[in-house]
């Protein structure tokens, strides 16, 4: 029985990857392949996020077209992750900032529509100011994109608290985290990140009649698992 479940999962994600072959080619160009170079986990992370944004988008009543854009954006949002991490190791945490604009330009050159590039820009710390100062002007798709990225740890959906604690405990992000104190009145970057996504989480939970907002990631994960079961 266990083998059957695992086979279902493998086949499900293989089909999802096959349907995203054009983005996969760009991931290869950006250095996320081959697998033996150690960056395949980023591809798996993006696949899970692409399913999660679609599930949450469906729950919140997004159109099929908007959900399709979210899927593509989720598949492409970390396409420069290797460049970002390797650059930060060599040059410092400012490379986390630089990679955002460089990734956006790469996606433009590859012909991605601007609305998808905007969605990829809705994740990470460079989007914080918009989420703080212009929250009510953000689209539902941007909020979904940002939130799902904040509850995805590797290739699993976890509570917001668990994901934030993982970032805090990761020494690779110490300098980036502390830089936030100069920008956000003494708050670290990850404290601000938690506040933003908690706000989104509460908004979504209320819209979906979920009593405990912290349970939303589990609800999304269960719906993905149900899709996998129904895929055979």
Across residues 122-148, what is the average pLDDT? 97
Q: What is the mean pLDDT of the chain?
A: 93
pLDDT band for 160, please (50, 70, 90 cuts).
very high
Question: Which architecture, in CATH terms, is 2-230?
Answer: Orthogonal Bundle (1.10)
Residue 86's pLDDT is 81
List, for residues 185-205, the tens digit of each pLDDT value: 999 999 999 999 999 999 999
Q: How confident is the model at residue 84 (pLDDT cuts 50, 70, 90)?
A: confident
Alpha carbon distance 127, 123 (integer Å): 6
Residue 63 DSSP label: -
Is the whole-model pTM more than 0.85?
yes
pLDDT of residue 31: 80
Sketch the domain layout of the chain as residue ranges. 2-230
DSSP single-letter state for residue 186: T
Which tokens sit at 76?
A: 């492409």
Mean pLDDT, range 60-64, rounded to an integer? 99
Picking from 142, 124, 156, the residue whose alpha carbon sits closest to that of residue 200 is 142
pLDDT above 90: residue 216: yes
In the predicted model, what is the mean pLDDT of residues 73-89? 86
Nearest Cα neighbor of 168 from 147, 148, 185, 153 is: 153
Identify any residues that bridge with 156 across adjacent strands, giving them in sequence order: 153
CA distances from 140 to 7, 21, 207 (A): 34, 27, 12
């Amino acid at each position: 029985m266990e083998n059957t479940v695992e086979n279902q999962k493998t086949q499900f994600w293989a089909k999802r990857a096959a349907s995203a072959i054009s983005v996969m080619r760009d991931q290869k160009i950006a250095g996320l392949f081959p697998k033996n170079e150690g960056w395949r986990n980023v591809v798996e992370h993006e696949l899970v996020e692409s399913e999660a944004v679609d599930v949450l988008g469906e729950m919140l009543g997004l159109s099929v077209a908007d959900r399709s854009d979210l899927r593509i954006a989720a598949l492409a949002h970390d396409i420069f992750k290797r460049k970002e991490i390797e650059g930060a190791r060599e040059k410092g945490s400012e490379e986390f900032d630089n990679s955002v604009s460089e990734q956006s330009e790469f996606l433009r050159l590859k012909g991605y529509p601007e609305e998808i590039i905007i969605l990829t820009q809705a994740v990470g710390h460079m989007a914080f100011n918009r989420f703080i100062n212009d929250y009510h002007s953000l689209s539902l798709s941007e909020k979904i994109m940002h939130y799902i990225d904040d509850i995805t740890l590797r290739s699993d959906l976890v509570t917001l608290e668990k994901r934030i604690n993982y970032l805090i405990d990761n020494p690779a992000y110490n300098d980036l985290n502390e830089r936030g104190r100069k920008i956000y009145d003494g708050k670290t970057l990850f404290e601000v990140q938690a506040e933003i996504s908690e706000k989104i989480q509460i908004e979504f939970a209320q819209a979906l009649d979920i009593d405990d907002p912290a349970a939303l990631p589990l609800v999304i994960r269960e719906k993905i698992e149900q899709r996998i079961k129904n895929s055979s």
